[in-house]
Amino acid sequence: MALLSLDYKVINLTRCEECAAEGAWVKVKAHLSRRDKNHVKGAVIALDVAIGDDGQPIMPESIGVDSARVLNSLDFTILQRALVAWSYADALSEANIERMHDEDIDELKDVLGALYATKDDEEKKATK
């Protein structure tokens, strides 16, 4: 049996016109490790938000949590764990991830959501 491969995927950023014109790209992990997933879960626990079976936060109004704040925090936690390189002149860092264009973050959320959901579904089927 082999260890989880360290595969990467390069994503060309196209939603932000400025970034697309400059040929901006990011390199992400093709799989999140157990440690990465636990880090994301830890961030959710720190925010005192439950996770549903679909992996999405459950935010009933009764817990009084600002859903935008929760989702924003989760987005950046996932990006911090997933990104390994990028074409921007500034160094890849937590502070610089937070400075990314909204369009780029939205594009990455969509791509990573599809990429990781597919991987998780495949892993679940393989263990049955």
The predicted-structure confidence for 28-44, as pLDDT tens digits, reads as follows 999 888 888 888 877 76
Please state the pTM of the whole predicted model: 0.69
- The tokens describing 118, both together, are 């597919």
Distance CA 44, CA 38 (A): 10
The SS3 of residue 78 is helix
The predicted-structure confidence for 71-124, as pLDDT tens digits, reads as follows 577 788 889 999 999 999 999 998 888 888 888 988 998 999 898 886 555 555
Helical axes 102-126 vs 67-82, angle rounded to 10°: 70
- The tokens describing 4, both together, are 């989880």
How many residues in total does the chain contain?
A: 128
Widest pairwise Cα distance in the chain: 46
The phi and psi torsions of 120 (rounded to 5 degrees) equal -65, -40
- Distances in whole angstroms, Cα of residue 29 to Cα of each of 36, 79, 85, 116: 10, 10, 10, 10
Best CA proximity match to 15, nearest among 109, 91, 127, 82: 109
* Residue 55 pLDDT greater than 80, yes or no: no
E strand or H helix at 72, and its extent?
helix 67-82
